[in-house]
Structure 1
């Protein structure tokens, strides 16, 4: 589904939700107001479906009137139920909005029924789902965070605004804050070097370095959500790289309860001020946070989509590695020799490397001892080494 389509349909759905109670009122003023919103919602749906069918690629839809838009939708192969009633609805809306003529409530209810029937049929024809099945989170790729944002939107619809804000923050935690969690460092006293790989597996690689030790955590982590320690410089750089305003991230943190989940666990801890529920858990905040969360996560996904990696689909046919040839510590024949090619080792070519001498080229080689491999799994000596093998002219 096109992004433009979703935006237009979300607007239409909000208008339709606002119009429903007004259209069903027996008060002429309220019913007439609902009629105006109803027609706006209907026109937004028709326009969105034309965008989805890419009619806008060939025709200027902005210049077409309501009846013409219905005609374009029919021409695109989409049936429009009760189109005559819908055209009459549009004319009545003109009388209400531009000539201050009130509509009869009974008539408005008829128009509302016809419009909702047509919207459901048209959206199912084009999108395979009804307007009420559409969520703003549909802009995102399927992921755990999308699931929480979909739950947040459902909670807003049911007026469960605190639940919506918590679900939104869970999505932000997964996409942004989890990299700042120092939970994995709670038993690390700093006496043992973990190495790059070990640090990555423990997590919290974006958190400030001074927070990643047992002593600091015992003094400063009072509740589970304190495990999230934001490095604000890193936070700003990450936002800049993704094209996100840092104020939006800060707003989401301020307007939603703090959450935390330990890596590999399903349970969530939630923290918020005692007055948060009555002061901030309202529809306005919930909708704002949901909209901003979808926006910034979408930017993150689009940034990831822009990344291109070299393909490795075609298998590499390695050249022979001859016994007796030597591996050097650097791509230079004058550097230290660290290994001689021999039986009992397996050799893998990692890459081609130009030497410090422009006339020399090398294979970067990983040599693994067959004999020591099993011992290494049990804590024995290192089973492999890495070096550079000169490419001979006849091998090039």
Structure 2
């Protein structure tokens, strides 16, 4: 009963975060990023599949859900965030964002602040508590990526090392994370809802020998981001691989942070492991995509489907990214011009022969007695003027673009 009351208190405190100015700053940042996503999507598909409002609401919903779950985990473990230096971490994360949007992740800012604190003693912060919070945030992120990471991924054309064009998907998601964590307060503090917790709690005690400690819930606003490119597999599969790797990273970082409660060596390990291991995961993911064979390439026969438009005839038939369309109405097709030629008479019935990625052939049929003008797909072309180089897909921030412009003028 006590735990249920505590969980309800956590839900209420997280919900109240909707009135926090910091949360709205984070949402505005996400809105700006999603506007860029929509501009790219319109360039590739002609229109966005989901509106800006829908994408923002999606991120806010999952962000709040993750914040509640992460808060419960943090309170359950009894990890306090006394003096963790969030007032230093948040501004640094915003600054790093301008170098590269993915650096807004607290692994980088948290690790930098922790290392400086360990080296110089300023700021004087609870490094173990800070890196534990970072670990739990990434635990939330791994779950968000698994559930929501592939949603609204954007199809693009890229030029591979051999000079050929391949299809790929850019996955760029952000979630505002309002959560609450424990802080110790004076026993004389008033206006606090008091609960007598079970004897086993907290699992990790930071104040050995003290039997009477009063904890309070403290609200924090964070933002989590996921940036990746799916070149050798579909976005859903790519996101799940990234999620599993990040989950392992999170558990290791939490364990190092818990060890840092008593031992300074573990504090150093957590502070260094956080940013370096996180960057390693990103670099490894990018390298894996470059070294493997692209999934979406121009086939010898037929046309490769890269993306299917929402509510289109192709979606209604069940055509998927990675399928190869071989025939339409008994005519072989090898280009967009072939499709346009077949549909120029606006037939009321369309038969499509599709070769799936496993080699099986499937026949689809679509009927519209007003006439079929298009089937709603984006294919991998042999040539396009909308091609990105893989080495340029890092999407640097304002600072990087500023120096790039200076270098071009020299």
Q: Do they superpose with TM above 0.5?
A: no
Length-normalised TM-score, structure 1: 0.27
- The structure whose RCO (Cα within 8 Å, separation 6+) is larger is 2
Looking at secondary structure, tell me which structure has more helix per residue.
1
Length-normalised TM-score, structure 2: 0.26
When Rg is computed on C-alpha atoms for both structures, the one with the higher figure is 1
Looking at secondary structure, tell me which structure has more strand per residue.
2
